[in-house]
Structure 1
Amino acid sequence: MSDLSAGRDENPSESAELSFLSGPDANNDCVRDPQGASRGAALSALGAYLQNMRTTDLLSREAEVDLSTRMRHGDESARELMILSNLRLVVSIARRYSDRGLAMEDLIEEGNLGLMKAVDRFNPDLGFRFSTYATWWIRQSIERALLNQVHMIRLPVHLMEKINSSLSKREHDLAMGIDPGEDLFTIHPELLPLLREPLSLDMPLGDREDGSLLDVLEDTERPSAIRLIELREDHEQILRCLSILRENERRVVELRFGLEEVTTPPMEDHLAADLDSSHHLSAKIRSSRQGGRKSSERGDGMTLEAVGKILGVTRERVRQIESHALAKMRSYLEHPEGFSAGGSSPETKGRKSKRS
């Protein structure tokens, strides 16, 4: 057992303990109500609770021993006085956990439960002040409440095993009157990101009564406005590129890149999918222009072999037509003035003139 006879008294001074409610920033440091409606009432109730604690004096070591002795003989008034005299200790400890996702009044309530356990289990013969012993139980009770909040989230099995092992050891130490050491969240810092105040999706935004948090959350299943603009630009660019291809070239590109409906305006229900097909082809052309590796993304496009069966040509012939079509589209993007719809590129015209 640890020798804690020299353990320091955790009871803070009255002025320091209550200052966080009396200062100009009291509204920021106390109860955080995301809905905003009951914030003032909760703060007022908590303030009244803390003001009432001022009427109870702190206990000396001798008074703690006397009250503990009376409690052993069934004196309920002694137990009540021991609890009331240490309520400020609970507030002091609860403030250390004020950024962990629970409102201050909830932290104080959980801390008070720990204080009651400490009062019932305290033995002055152990040789240390009650405030030292009570601090362990108050922390344990608050941390238990915070863990219950974390348990709403599915945790990895190995982490749960570590936490349960730590809790069992700490509770054993408490029962034996041994200092459990650092708080649970210092031992397991991976829990800290999980301690966030839960927010309702229906909570109002500021003073607005007709809007909620749900109204401003991004719909990840649909493309953003900027993304739609980018996709539409690609779509329009591909339409222009397809217009300069011969019929067989156009057909190969459409089948290979899933663009069979690309010449018609995309329907709203299939907007993202249709525009994405254009985007894949646009990326393919850009990659080829920059000399990069060929992209394997083709949206819902067909394989060379499948396209060959539809057109009645070999797999290699499909590859040649596709390669020539992409080169023509690339040239069009670089020098659009030299092309006509379904016509020849400047290179093709040059070859024809040489032959003649």
Structure 2
Amino acid sequence: MNTTTSASQALALRDPWALVPPMGNLDAYISAVNRIPLLTPEEESAFARKLRDDEDIQAAGRLVLSHLRLVVSISRQYLGYGLPQGDLIQEGNVGLMKAVKRFDPEQGVRLVSYAMHWIKAEIHEYILKNWRMVKVATTKAQRKLFFNLRSMKQGMKGHAPGSETHRNTLTPDEVQRMATELNVKPEEVVEMETRLSGGDVALEPQTDDGEESYAPIAYLADDSQEPTRVLEARSRDAQSSDGIMLALNTLDERSRRIVEERWLKVNDDSSGGMTLHELAAEYGVSAERIRQIEVAALKKMRKTLEVA
């Protein structure tokens, strides 16, 4: 045994986590976790009992460390979804820690078998949330369809008589077979196949040629809560209520009534208030005079609103 190996083993005994490099260097991480020794059944049971009975964190750490290679192995099964393997491994590690916390050594099952469910469950959740902006699977049957459609499709294309490797669409018979086997409706198979076959579209414009209006970000963005628009909306609301009342109070009685009748009054038949000629007849002046009073009153109100 050389000095380097002895030093590594001594470090592992003091702080096993020191052997695992940061996830930033994925190759180094995978290489390191593959070198961590596996636990014997006796060691695994002993650490599991320490965790269960004494809440020994060090024992939990040893159980997790010895199964990090399992997470790496499982993560490779999901590389076809275009997500970084490092992220898949991190999510799988979360599932592994949940499995370790719930593991009961008295059940007669090895941790490696028990943890696979938890690791895959976390990775599945991560893929469903991040692979597409639109959630593609909601029910248990749809999730099974999502994660089995590709492999089933490849199997059918590979074994169907006279099949062509470049043919990607499913035939009606293949759709029905998948629907029956996975306990979903045929139209759900077709919809999932369409979603899985569709390409991703970049939200941001990919060029600098001034075509921003054609990028999805231009019509998907909800700018109603943008701070400037919120302030503008508040200003409009204030002016349409308190501001208008304040402006009306600056007018004399005749000018105010003319403005209210001409601009603010709505009758039951939605015909609005009085006309210029009706007001002129009431006040004993010409319609032109009523219009001049109206223009002057509105100008005065506008100045008041600008100050407010």
With the length of structure 1 as denominator, give the TM-score of the two structures: 0.36
Q: Name the one with the larger helix percent.
A: 2
- The structure with higher relative contact order (CA 8 Å, sep 6+) is 1
